């Protein structure tokens, strides 16, 4: 028997035993019985803000271009915050803004 470690959806480690094969580390996935893949949870247990996959609209593109001209290409989280504050456009992360700008 070999030991393995599971990483739960909450980022916790669980020890276990395997009947065959070498020691292993694996992430818990949707095939595990108590995994809830639909609810993204932060480490404090609160539900994380969900950011969906909405198509980009021309107003968002113009706003991102303007913010990048003003603040540059290294402050994407700030660009995301300003997108909401100055233009009233919410629901976009810094990473989404960066990726969108790269494809404009």
The DSSP string of 37-79 is: TT--B-TTSPBPPP---PPP-HHHHHHHHHHHHHH-SS-HHHH
In a domain, 38, yes or no: no
In a domain, 87, yes or no: yes
In a domain, 43, yes or no: no
Q: How many domains does the chain fold into?
A: 2
Neighbours of 60 (CB within 10 A): 19
* Mean per-residue pLDDT, 3-10: 60
In a domain, 93, yes or no: yes
Higher pLDDT, 25 or 94: 94
In a domain, 47, yes or no: no
| Residue 47 pLDDT level (bands cut at 50, 70, 90) | low
Q: Are 104 and 69 in contact (CB under 8 A)?
A: no
Higher pLDDT, 60 or 39: 60
In a domain, 48, yes or no: no
In a domain, 67, yes or no: yes
pLDDT of residue 35: 44
In a domain, 40, yes or no: no
Q: What domain range includes position 20?
A: 1-29
Q: Record the tokens describing residue 55, joined without a space.
A: 């198509």
pLDDT of residue 38: 47
């Amino acid at each position: 028997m070999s030991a393995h470690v599971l990483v739960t959806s909450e980022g916790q480690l669980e020890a276990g035993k395997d009947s065959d094969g070498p020691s292993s580390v694996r992430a818990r996935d949707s095939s595990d019985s108590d995994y809830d893949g639909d609810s993204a949870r932060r480490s404090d247990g609160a539900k994380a803000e969900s950011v969906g996959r909405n198509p980009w609209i021309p107003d968002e593109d113009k706003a991102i271009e303007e913010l990048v001209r003003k603040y540059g290409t290294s402050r994407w989280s700030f660009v995301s915050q300003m997108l909401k504050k100055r233009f009233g456009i919410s629901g976009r992360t810094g990473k989404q803004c960066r990726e969108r700008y790269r494809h404009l």
